[in-house]
Amino acid sequence: MDIKVMLWTTGVAFLIAVILGPLFIPFLRRLKFGQAIRQEGPQSHQKKSGTPTMGGMIFLAALTITTLKFSDLSFSTYLLLFVTLGYGLVGFLDDYIKVALKRNLGLKARQKLLGQIILGVALYIVMNYAGLIDMKINIPLIDTPLNLGFFYLPFLVLMVIGMSNAVNLTDGLDGLAAGTTAIAFGSYAILAWWTSNMEVAIFCAAMVGALLGFLVFNVNPAKVFMGDTGSLALGGALATVAILTKTEIYVFLIGGVFVAEVLSVILQVISFQTFGRRIFKMSPLHHHFELIGWSEWRVVGTFWTVGLLLAVGSLALYLKP
């Protein structure tokens, strides 16, 4: 019965997103909420200038409606929606400043980081108040959990911030972030169902459907971009799901594509500032493959495949007898 509910949740979320797309995209066009493309990015991307952004509101609306409809509205449900929509709000403010106020960089870095920190600390406080905080983390292939004690607070905050920014960095090609996160949430839907954490499973199932519906309009050539509104929300949600299922380390395996994107940026900066040389033609990593001649479809398809293999491998590792 639980599987049927999850499938219904995914299907309804997909339909809502597909219905909302044709209503929302023209609205964004009328408001002239078009994406400005960075001049320092690949020149092939300049043709995407003006494509409506802030489309993350499409799948966030589908997610919220479907989760509230099919879940039992437990504490975990509200917590997941709070973090997801909270990070979505930070991203919305960033997008709004970029496209409506015509400030290309959006929120200042410290303003965005402050909002992310506040939400991360709020997540810890609320979970601690509800008695859901466990200072131990489970490490793959090791039977005894590692007790972080007081250090679990900074670990949790850094994890949520890191994952939200990792998905944000991944959102650079049509369908790339939406597809890889759909795969990650799909694996977590299975993991949560397996561990009888049905409220998290329903949330993940709703997210998968909402993202697949959004992909109808986001695959190349994209009719709409998710913007920071969507990417920050997705990363925050993925980290929170990992925290609630006590798979904090596994999220770095399931979301290995996002980790690789972040590492490519970090390594590029360190190499250039230290040695004056670049490791990659351009970071994040997906741009490197574009600049060595891969088509956008090939990059996205390859990253989706890698994400799927990582998700399947991580599930096999977690569910091993």
Q: Indicate if the alpha-carbon torsion angle 187, 230, 175, 206 is positive or negative.
A: positive
- The Cα 300–Cα 218 span in angstroms is 12
Given phi > 0 = left and psi -120 to 50 = alpha, else beta, which region is 173? beta
- The Cα 38–Cα 36 span in angstroms is 7
Question: Which tokens go with 22?
Answer: 């044709």
Burial status of residue 206 (CB atoms within 10 A of its CB: 0-12, 13-18, 19 or more): buried
Give yes or no for a contact between 187 and 309, defined as CB atoms under 8 angstroms apart: no
CA 195 remoteness from chain centre? 22
Question: Which tokens go with 276?
Answer: 């004056």
Q: Give the contacts of 261 (CB within 8 A, at least 6 positions apart).
A: 166, 169, 170, 284, 285, 286
137 - beta bridge partners? Answer: 146
- The Cα 223–Cα 74 span in angstroms is 36
Q: Give residue 208's identity as a one-letter amino acid code.
A: V
Q: If we measure between CA atoms, which residue out of 58, 304, 314 comes closest to residue 180?
A: 304
Residue 228 is assigned to a ligand binding site: yes
Instruction: Show binding-site residues for Mg(2+).
Output: 168, 228
Residues annotated within a binding site: 168, 228
